Structure 1
Amino acid sequence: MKLRALALAVIAVLPVVASAHQAGDFFMRAGSATVRPTSGSDDVLGLGEFSVDNNTQLGLTLTWMATDHIGIELLGATPFRHKVGLGPTGTLATVRQLPPTLMAQWYFMDDASKWQPYAGIGVNYTMFYHTDFNQTGRDAGLSDLSVKNSWGVAGQVGMDYQLTPEWMLNASLWYMNIDTKVSFNAGDSRQSIDTRINPWVFFIGAGYRF
């Protein structure tokens, strides 16, 4: 009896393993999402390639666990705003974009593990809007900027750490294939420049299961 009482006392003070990532679960993550383009383009008017700067926004993901190990995730965010530059001229324009991305994920551990590493592959659709030349661009004779929306593949690796049965911490890294066409007027001619944004996206935040 004493041995049984001791065993029950030990069990009582042990941390409870928070089960998670079970078939049928839904969970949402929110946090900081930083887009870091690995940008490049065809030559622009003999002045080199376009450059696109980093931007950080609120990232949101919604995940449904189809099985204990397979998840389907949709990535969203508040709109990203990027400065577009060109070699000797500096920043010429600003562009806003939204990159909704649908992923199929594999979670490596069972639902008894607090650590849940995963990897995913899917498809990205990037919508560009509010594409405007600044005064520097207009003074250079550039106008009527447009950026074509893009379809591409995406990949990710990530890790959840389960704090409670409902709450988790998350960190993930994404790579997105975003190839687009940038068009604008330069004087009397219309230019069309193939541009590769292809960003790494760094996400860190918290999640809630419901």
Structure 2
Amino acid sequence: MNFSRLALGALALGLATASSVFAAGPWSVRLRATYLETVDQSPAFSALGINFADDAVIVSDKFIPEIDIDYAFNDVLSAELVLTIPQKHRVDLAGVGRLGSFKHLPPTLLLQYHPKVSDTFQPYLGVGVNFTLIFDDNLVVAGVPLALEDYSVGLAAQAGFDVRVNDRWSFNVDVKRAAIRSDVLAGAAKLTTAKLDPWLYAVGMKYDF
């Protein structure tokens, strides 16, 4: 047998083997464009001699970038770590106007279930926990500084699907809901609790390693 043909055959076999190994790897990454929509719920409270109605605290919605790292335990169970960069939100008070802003960083860890539907369409459901760091809060009303709690811990849920484009890439659609809440404080006095509990609507791409 010609040596060059033997070498080419060995190289082709090696590449095919490597490709199958990589395709079977447990790791993947999703890159998403996500719209964060807060529910803006808060109990009624009194301050500055004014009685504020329910849901008077309003936190801005916004688009955020999202990167998610996935590890598949088997064909039906996987874990996903949801990450983004620190996000800044505006805060308003109904009847008063702008209070200021704060930043938050909300990593979320989810356990996903993937029912087998087809080789190209893969839906999933997820449930897990959200841990949100809250910082750089700069809130003032009538010259009185307000503060938020440093962090929030709550449940998170998820539903979505991947549509396979080729051996490595898939188109992804995803919806999540996370419990994110913080007391609003004036000194040591609690005024109300801001319940952001955002919906996160996302589209993006998944890459399998």
Q: Normalising by the residue count of structure 2, what TM-score does the alignment of the two structures yield?
A: 0.80
Q: 1:172: Cα distance to partner?
A: 0.3
Q: 1:84: Cα distance to partner?
A: 0.9
CA distance in 1, matches of 2:146, 2:199: 29
CA distance in 2, matches of 1:193, 1:42: 6
Which residue is 1:13 aligned to?
A: none
Contact 1:24 1:66 in 2 (8 A): no
Give the alignment of 1:45-194 within 5 angstroms: 45=47, 46-48=51-53, 49-109=56-116, 113-133=119-139, 137=140, 140-185=142-187, 190-194=189-193
Report the more deviating stretch, 40-49 or 86-95: 40-49
CA distance in 1, matches of 2:35, 2:106: 12
Listed one character per residue, the Cα deviations across residues 63-103 of structure 1 (whole Å, up to 9, x for unaligned) are 00000111100000122221111111122111111111100
Matched, 1:204 2:203: yes
Amino acid at match of 1:121: V
CA distance in 2, matches of 1:84, 1:42: 16
Contact 2:135 2:150 in 1 (8 A): no
Amino acid at match of 1:143: P
Report the more deviating stretch, 46-55 or 93-102: 46-55
Contact 2:183 2:190 in 1 (8 A): no
Contact 1:28 1:208 in 2 (8 A): yes
Amino acid at match of 1:108: P
Identity among equivalent pairs (%): 25
SS in 1 for 2:95: helix
Which residue is 1:4 aligned to?
A: none
Contact 1:55 1:81 in 2 (8 A): no
CA distance in 1, matches of 2:165, 2:26: 16
CA distance in 1, matches of 2:179, 2:173: 20
Gaps of 5+ in 2: 1-19
SS in 2 for 1:198: coil
Report the more deviating stretch, 23-32 or 146-155: 23-32
Contact 1:119 1:157 in 2 (8 A): yes
Gaps of 5+ in 1: 1-18
Listed one character per residue, the Cα deviations across residues 107-156 of structure 1 (whole Å, up to 9, x for unaligned) are 1126x6111100010011011111112xxx35x12215233311111000
Contact 1:148 1:181 in 2 (8 A): no
Q: 1:192: Cα distance to partner?
A: 4.1
CA distance in 2, matches of 1:182, 1:23: 48
Contact 1:32 1:56 in 2 (8 A): yes
Paired residue total: 182
Where in structure 1 do 4 or more consecutive aligned residues deviate above 3 Å?
189-192
Q: Normalising by the residue count of structure 1, what TM-score does the alignment of the two structures yield?
A: 0.80
Amino acid at match of 1:126: T
Q: 1:47: Cα distance to partner?
A: 2.7
Q: CA RMSD in A?
A: 2.0
